């Protein structure tokens, strides 16, 4: 009878693995990184997995082995000892080994936590390119302040060049994630977060919003395409020549809840990103904008209430999506 | 007039979805059937005096268990609807909005209206018996706790057919849950459903702390207390520290929604991140609150079925307390990706990993309890050794992997996370509570559950579990994020999702077999006359099953850890038993209708506030105060059971009449 179950389980898991492998290959995301950050994160995942397995595998084996060895039906019963309930030696091992493993893992984790802090610029011979990201309901807006172009749900940048993402949100919080390039960071209104990623080779990488943000959140996917510098420059030129400009009115309309296809714009209102950030600033302090805040320190999230000083410099054209933050901003 | 009524009804009832119309019909039919049966068999009075007004902890426990199994069915249906929607790419079974509502209610119901009440049910069924007490410290409050949970759960559940369900996720992050993005009533149902039942949870926490600290049988020092009671103490201490945070958080978000304040809004200086910190300061301890008692259950079961003392009792106690304390300083690991910086992330990463140490120690303790034992594999032990240990160890391992902050940037909000917490919550909490239910079932009802069906159910649950959640780890690493209602054909996620859905339905089958097992056993199982069918170790097995109303005819005097086992050993050795003390009249609390009436008023108040109907909310709150007032001046709350009645009950229970 039991053998029947086990066969069933084995068949099902084999079938499962076959189906899994059929769909894989280049779809493996986190396990197939194409950038320095993603690769180091994969290393860390591997290190932590191995450290855990050192303790997990023997534990499971021991559990089954002891349960089986001392089952009631076995022949020899001499070593039944119902009073045996303490052994300092065993207890020392069972506290000691997990403590040791956690110490090692904690050391590794702390090291990598500082090394891979997402707001820290990446070392590279190339100058980083800045891309500003805003999560809207339910689409991704990408602004290229150096190139002066903007795209929606589509991202392109040169390979081997560090990309410095500046992120905010003009909608409920979301999370910006391109698994093959590296880990995600939240996009939050009233804040400008930073995330540095790099693509080591050309390719089209799947990106998405990872934090639930309402009805059509599931459709907030985009392609992040890494190309050669020439192809990138060419693409920028094409966008500049072949697309319309994004106006403030156009932005206000874009920010309304809804789903869109990929879009591109030849220009966008200056300071749009800062405007989105300060729109939700809580007011009170005079401060500097996200792009001016070049501190690149670990405390990238602290920009939240430092932007209200710019409230006076808001572009004209308040839309119906405005939330009335101006009325509430205290000066 | 007619038009007005029609307009109102169109707003008030959820319309436009055939699934919901089906549910409407089912609800009306079920309610009518219940009313008909109660009326036809003239059972209304019996229901009221024996059950609805009872303050007996055992009956309250049974009502908790029944309610939570119903909620398990509801939450499970939600899960299967979701898995059906995800069975293939671009599926159009549920609309995105409906999907969002379903994952929200699935999460809330499973944690707050299934796991919590099932846990409270087991507390009630077991703790007083295990520590040799006649009842809990505050029997009236205990009944009130149950009815508050029930009122909260009902309020939350009717949102499904009236007004519309909440849709902002089980922790309802603002601003998504604020009026700006969520103007409907769903979120208000969320706030009041949880708030009302949360008051009950807090009261239960206080009740059981006092019960355990003050009402143990003479001689039962804390270090002679059974492990389940220890785990309940740990869990309740966490409840009284964590639940006030939830109460305040929900109250602030109510003030935001109802009075237009700006605690957590996007605009006006609100800070949604503050909500996320607060909700996780409750939410993280909450998962340990529900899993600690499961650890206690496994400890009892392993010792009983290995016929051996629990290995490392002191380690176990220390581990439970360590877990319940450390669980309060790990909350920020739920948002490593919020950019708090390396210092904060490093702190919370390490504090999270530290929890793995006492948890790991407990696993070793269970394993070494079997060492040199005589291990038998009845269903409760099957759940423990074959179900729980491997599942929880792997789930714990992926938890440690998630706690590695820089790696978490890649796991966060993905299906990897979903697989992890289902593995610990199902493998730990659900498996534990099912094991506990099967284990203590004969004590509560006087007969065992059918073993064969129990084993079938076990295998369906277990195989279903792995088939369902192992693919989710992989699909998470492929980039699939949680809460997406659909995905594309070229994502490569189809196969894994298909397998996962099959697993979900296997678990559903496991649940159905469990229900069948219970019904079959009610009809066919033989009565257990020993009161001790598993050859147990602790006090609850020393009295007849089901336990008489007053639990212990004579207050037990405890000398050892596992006192009942030691007594049986001495008896087997032929040592003379101590002479029994004479019976004395037993002091008992009287039933009271106030808890259920007061909870009814809470329900009215909550419902009124959800719909902004002050004409209903204000009388609701007045009713609540009137009930408090009435109870304060009620001096007729107790009575004595005379000795001859105790003698008759004992004789009948032991079959010696």
B486 touches chain A (CB under 8 A): yes
**Distance between CA atoms of residues B530 and B535, nearest Å:** 10
φ, ψ of residue A174 to 5 degrees: the values are -135, -170
What per-residue confidence (pLDDT) applies to A322? 39
Confidence of residue A19 (pLDDT cuts 50, 70, 90): low
Please report the DSSP string for B235-249 in residue order.
HHHHHHHHHHHHHHH
What's the half-sphere exposure (Cβ side, CA atoms, 13 Å) at B519? 6
pLDDT at B579: 84
pLDDT at B232 over 80: yes
Helix (H) or strand (E) holding A139: strand A139-144
Residue A190 contacts B where some CB pair is shorter than 8 Å: yes
Nearest to B401 among A5, A48, A180 (CB): A48
- Supply A25's token pair: 């290959």
pLDDT value for A320? 37
State the pLDDT confidence band at A316, using cuts at 50, 70 and 90.
Answer: very low
For residues A141-164, average pLDDT: 96
**Across A147-151, average pLDDT:** 96
B247 touches A at CB < 8 Å: no
* Statement: residue A26 has pLDDT above 70: no
What are the chain A neighbours of B311 within 8 Å (beta carbons)? 84-87, 90
* Per-residue pLDDT tens over the stretch A251-272: 999 999 999 999 999 999 999 9
Q: Looking at the DSSP assignment, which residues form a beta bridge with residue A165?
A: A131, A195
The reply to whether residue B363 touches residue A282, judged by beta carbons under 8 angstroms, is no
- The per-residue pLDDT for range A160-203, each reduced to its tens digit, is 999 999 999 999 999 999 999 999 999 999 899 999 999 999 99
Average pLDDT score over chain B: 94
Residues of A in contact with B494 (CB under 8 A): 23
Residue A240 distance to chain B (closest CA, Å): 30
Closest CA to A235 of A269, A271, A262: A262
Q: Name the pLDDT band for A288 (thresholds 50, 70, 90).
A: very low
Residue B422 has a CB neighbour count (10 Å cut-off) of 18
Mean pLDDT value of segment B561-576: 92
Name every chain A residue with its beta carbon within 8 A of the beta carbon of B180. 323
Question: Can you give the three-state secondary structure of B562-627, one letter per residue?
Answer: CHHHHHHHHHHCCCCCCCCCCCCCEEEECCCCHHHHHHHHHHHHHHHHHCCCHHHHHHHHHHHHHH
Given a contact cutoff of 8 angstroms between Cβ atoms, the answer to whether A38 and A179 are in contact is yes
Output the pLDDT for position B648. 92
Instruction: Tell me if chain B has a CB within 8 Å of the CB of A242.
Output: no
Q: How many CB pairs under 8 A join A and B?
A: 336
CB B418 within 8 A of CB B79: no
B166 → chain A, closest CA residue: A214
Question: Is residue A144 within 8 Å of A131, Cβ to Cβ?
Answer: yes
Q: Provide the sign of the torsion angle of the four alpha carbons B128, B134, B137, B139, taken in this order.
A: positive
pLDDT tier, B576 (very low <50, low <70, confident <90, very high otherwise): confident
How far lies A101's CA from each of A52, A98, B359, in Å? 8, 5, 14
What band does B145 get if pLDDT is binned at 50, 70 and 90?
Answer: very high
For A83, the closest chain B residue by CA position comes to B309
Reply yes or no on whether the pLDDT at A328 is more than 50: no
Greatest Cα pair distance, chain A, in angstroms, is: 89
Q: Alpha-carbon distance A182 to A164, whole Å?
A: 13
Q: How confident is the model at residue A286 (pLDDT cuts 50, 70, 90)?
A: very low
Inter-chain touch A63–B494, beta carbons under 8 Å: no
Tokens for B260, please give them: 């237009």
CB contact under 8 A, B312 and A86: yes
Question: How high is the pLDDT of residue B21?
Answer: 87
Measured CA distances, A171 to A214, B254, B282 (Å): 10, 21, 26
What percentage of chain B reaches a pLDDT higher than 90? Answer: 89
Contact at CB, A117 and B350, closer than 8 angstroms:
no
- Burial tier of B323 (Cβ tally within 10 Å: 0-12, 13-18, 19+): buried
Position B327 pLDDT exceeds 60? yes
* pLDDT at res. A294: 39
Tell me whether B287 touches chain A (CB under 8 Å). no
This prediction has a pTM of 0.91
Q: Does A164 touch chain B (CB under 8 A)?
A: no
Cα(A167)–Cα(A132) distance, rounded to whole angstroms?
6
- Taken in order A257, A263, A268, A274, the sign of the CA dihedral is positive
Please, which pLDDT band fits residue A315 given cuts at 50, 70 and 90? Answer: very low
Q: Look at residue B10 in the predicted model and tell me its pLDDT.
A: 83
Instruction: Report the residue count for chain B.
Output: 657
Distance between the two ends of chain B, CA-based, in angstroms?
68
**Mean pLDDT within B220-227:** 96
Read off the pLDDT of residues B380-428 as tens digits, 9 standing for 90 and up: 999 999 999 999 999 999 999 999 999 999 999 999 999 999 999 999 9
In angstroms, the separation between the Cα of residue B130 and the nearest Cα of chain A is 21
Q: Say what the pLDDT of residue A9 is.
A: 63
CB-based contact, A187 to chain B, within 8 Å: no
Contact indicator for B254, B275 with CB cutoff of 8 Å: no
Predicted confidence at residue A3, as pLDDT, reads 58
DSSP track, B318-352: HHHHHHHHHGGG-GGGGGGGG---HHHHHHHHHHH
A306 pLDDT more than 50: no
- CB-CB: which of A63, A108, A328 is closest to B389? A63
Residue A318 reports pLDDT greater than 50:
no
Question: CB neighbours of B60 closer than 8 A, spacing ≥ 6?
Answer: B54, B124, B142, B143, B146
pLDDT in tens, A75-95: 666 688 999 999 999 999 999
Cα A328 → chain centroid = 32
Whether pLDDT at B581 is above 90: no
Span B243-285, pLDDT tens digits? 999 999 999 999 999 999 999 998 888 899 999 999 999 999 9
pLDDT digits (tens, 9 = 90+) for B8-38: 888 888 887 888 888 888 888 988 999 999 9
B101, B104, B110, B111: CA torsion to nearest 10: -160
Residues 57-96 of A with CB under 8 A from B: 59-60, 62-64, 66-67, 70-72, 77, 79-87, 90-91, 94-95
Residue A155 sits at φ, ψ, to 5 deg, of -140, 135
Nearest CA in chain B to A48: B401
Nearest to A204 by CA among B494, B490, B485, B416: B490
List the single range of A68-77, A82-91, A148-157, A229-238 with lowest mean pLDDT: A68-77
Distance CA B563, CA B114 (A): 33
Contact B407 A84 (CB under 8 A): no
Specify whether the CB–CB gap between B379 and B454 falls below 8 A. Answer: yes
């Amino acid at each position: 009878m039991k053998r029947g179950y086990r066969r069933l389980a084995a068949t099902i898991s084999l079938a499962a693995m076959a189906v899994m492998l059929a769909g894989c290959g280049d779809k493996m995301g986190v396990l197939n990184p194409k950038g320095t950050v993603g690769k180091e994160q994969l290393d860390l995942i591997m290190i932590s997995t191995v450290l855990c397995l050192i303790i997990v595998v023997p534990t499971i084996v021991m559990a089954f082995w002891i349960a089986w060895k001392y089952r009631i039906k076995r022949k020899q019963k001499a070593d039944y000892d119902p009073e045996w309930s303490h052994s300092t030696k065993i207890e020392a091992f069972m506290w000691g080994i997990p403590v040791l493993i956690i110490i090692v893992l904690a050391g590794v984790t702390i090291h990598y936590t500082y090394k891979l802090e997402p707001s820290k610029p990446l070392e590279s011979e190339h100058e980083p390119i800045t891309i500003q990201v805003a999560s809207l309901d339910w689409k991704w807006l990408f602004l290229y302040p150096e190139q002066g172009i903007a795209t929606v749900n589509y991202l392109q940048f040169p390979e081997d060049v560090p990309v410095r993402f500046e992120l905010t949100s003009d909608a409920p919080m979301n999370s910006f994630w391109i698994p093959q390039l590296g880990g995600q960071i939240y996009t939050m209104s009233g804040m400008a977060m930073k995330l540095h990623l790099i693509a080591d080779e050309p390719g089209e990488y799947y990106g998405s919003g990872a934090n639930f943000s309402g009805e059509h959140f599931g459709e907030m996917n985009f392609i992040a395409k890494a190309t050669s510098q020439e192809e990138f420059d060419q693409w920028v030129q094409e966008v500049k020549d072949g697309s319309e400009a994004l106006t403030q009115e156009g932005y206000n309309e874009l920010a309304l809840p809804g789903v869109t296809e990929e879009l591109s714009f030849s220009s966008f209102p200056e300071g749009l990103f800062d405007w989105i950030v300060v729109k939700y600033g809580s007011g009170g302090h005079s401060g500097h904008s996200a792009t001016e805040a070049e501190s690149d320190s670990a405390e990238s999230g602290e920009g939240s209430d430092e932007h209200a000083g710019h409230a006076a410099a808001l572009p004209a054209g308040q839309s119906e999506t405005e939330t009335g933050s101006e009325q509430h901003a205290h000066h | 007039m007619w038009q007005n009524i029609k307009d109102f009804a169109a707003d008030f009832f959820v319309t436009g979805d055939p699934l919901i119309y089906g549910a409407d019909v089912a609800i009306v039919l079920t309610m009518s059937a219940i009313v008909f049966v109660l009326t036809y068999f003239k059972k209304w009075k019996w229901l009221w005096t024996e059950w609805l007004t009872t303050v007996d902890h055992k009956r309250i426990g049974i009502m908790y268990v029944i309610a939570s199994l119903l909620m398990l069915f509801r939450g499970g249906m939600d899960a299967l609807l979701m898995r059906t929607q995800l069975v293939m790419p671009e599926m159009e079974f549920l609309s995105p909005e409906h999907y969002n509502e379903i994952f929200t209610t699935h999460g809330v119901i499973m944690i707050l209206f299934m796991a919590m009440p099932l846990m409270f049910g087991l507390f009630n069924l077991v703790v007083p018996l295990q520590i040799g007490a006649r009842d809990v410290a505050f029997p009236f409050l205990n009944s009130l706790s149950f009815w508050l949970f029930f009122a909260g759960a009902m309020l939350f559940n009717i949102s499904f057919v009236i007004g519309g369900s909440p849709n902002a996720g089980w922790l309802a992050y603002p601003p998504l849950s604020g009026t700006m993005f969520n103007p409907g009533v769903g979120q208000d149902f969320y706030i009041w459903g949880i708030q009302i039942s949360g008051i009950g949870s807090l009261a239960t926490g206080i009740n059981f702390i006092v019960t355990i600290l003050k009402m143990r049988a003479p001689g039962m020092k804390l270090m002679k207390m059974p492990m389940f009671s220890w785990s309940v103490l740990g869990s309740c201490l966490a409840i009284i520290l964590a639940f006030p945070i939830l109460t305040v958080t929900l109250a602030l978000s109510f003030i935001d929604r109802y009075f237009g304040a700006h605690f957590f809004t996007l605009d006006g200086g609100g800070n949604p991140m503050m909500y996320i910190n607060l909700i996780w300061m409750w939410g993280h301890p909450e998962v340990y609150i529900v899993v600690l008692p499961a650890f206690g259950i496994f400890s009892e079961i392993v010792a009983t079925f290995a016929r051996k003392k629990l290995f490392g009792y002191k380690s176990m106690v220390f581990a439970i307390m360590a877990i319940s304390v450390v669980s309060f300083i790990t909350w920020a690991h739920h948002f490593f990706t919020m950019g708090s910086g390396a210092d904060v992330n490093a702190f919370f990463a390490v504090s999270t990993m530290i929890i793995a140490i006492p948890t790991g120690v407990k696993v070793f303790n269970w394993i070494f309890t079997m060492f040199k034992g005589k291990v038998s594999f009845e269903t409760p032990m099957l759940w423990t050794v074959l179900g729980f240990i491997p599942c929880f160890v792997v789930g714990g391992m992926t938890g440690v992997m998630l706690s590695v902050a820089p790696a978490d940037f890649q796991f966060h909000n993905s299906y990897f996370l979903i697989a992890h917490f289902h593995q610990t919550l199902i493998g730990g909490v659900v498996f534990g509570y099912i094991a506990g239910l099967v284990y203590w079932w004969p004590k509560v009802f006087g007969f065992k559950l059918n073993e064969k069906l129990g084993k079938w159910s076990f295998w369906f649950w277990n195989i279903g579990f792995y088939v369902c959640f192992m693919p989710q780890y992989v699909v998470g690493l492929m980039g699939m994020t949680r809460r997406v209602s659909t995905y594309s054909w070229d994502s490569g996620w189809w196969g894994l999702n298909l397998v996962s859905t099959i697993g979900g339905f296997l678990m559903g089958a496991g649940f159905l077999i469990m229900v069948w097992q219970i019904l079959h056993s009610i009809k066919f199982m033989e009565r257990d006359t020993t009161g001790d069918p598993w050859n147990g170790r602790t006090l609850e097995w020393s009295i007849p099953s089901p336990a008489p109303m007053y639990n212990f005819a004579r207050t037990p005097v405890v000398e050892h850890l596992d006192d009942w086992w030691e007594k049986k050993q001495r008896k087997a050795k032929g040592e003379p038993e101590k002479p029994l003390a004479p019976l004395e009249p037993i002091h008992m609390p009287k039933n009271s209708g106030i808890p259920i009436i007061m909870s009814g008023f809470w329900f009215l108040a909550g419902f009124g506030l959800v719909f902004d109907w002050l004409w209903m909310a204000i009388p609701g709150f007045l009713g609540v105060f009137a009930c408090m007032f009435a109870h304060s001046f009620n001096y007729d709350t107790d009575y004595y059971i005379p000795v001859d009645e105790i003698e008759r009950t004992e004789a009948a229970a032991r079959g010696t009449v």
